Amino acid sequence: MRLDVIETASMVELDDVVDHACLGETTVNTDEWNGYNRIGKRQGRVHRTVDHSGPKWTWASDVDGDGVREVHCNTLEGLWTGVRNFLRPFRGVSKWFLAQYVAVFQWSYNLKGVTDEFLRVLLGIPTSTVFPP
């Protein structure tokens, strides 16, 4: 998983993030915010959307009619909830350091297990140090 903090929510800046984060011909699932409109028009990407608004309140959609709702963006929305929960104990974070806080969250999220190496890095102990069993 990769998260980026960007200066503004403009199409141009978002295009740069998507261009650097995923390969061409990738399928990108988003909601219908207008800032995402150009994603499907660049580098052969497929852009699928889910409409969270209106009378239907759709959270996932079945675009190929096979009964499986394969287009959703709930995972990413849940990740940002995780970021908010991670930041909550700090009771406010300077925008100047937000990217570093998000990077720490990203690192911990992508870490699939607590290993000896993880603990050494976290505690600032050189990796060459050997602990007795």
SS3 83: helix
Q: At what angle do helices 98-110 and 74-87 cross, to 10 degrees?
A: 120
Residue-level pLDDT, tens digit, the chain, 133 residues: 778 887 877 777 877 777 787 877 777 777 777 777 777 676 778 877 777 776 666 666 667 777 766 676 666 667 888 888 889 888 888 888 888 988 988 888 887 777 887 788 778 887 666 666 5
Query: In whole angstroms, what separates CA 82 from the centre of its chain?
Result: 10
48 forms beta bridges with: 29
Radius of gyration over alpha carbons of the chain, in Å? 19
User: What is the C-alpha to C-alpha distance for residues 15 and 86, in angstroms, rounded to an integer?
Assistant: 27
Count the neighbouring beta carbons within 10 Å of the beta carbon of residue 1: 10
* Residue ranges covered by each domain of the chain: 11-123
Tokens representing 11 are 């199409």
In which region does residue 19 sit, left (phi positive, over 0), alpha (psi from -120 to 50) or beta (all else)?
Answer: alpha
The confidence score (pLDDT) of residue 130 equals 64
The confidence score (pLDDT) of residue 76 equals 67
Tokens 């929960």 -> residue: 85
The confidence score (pLDDT) of residue 55 equals 62
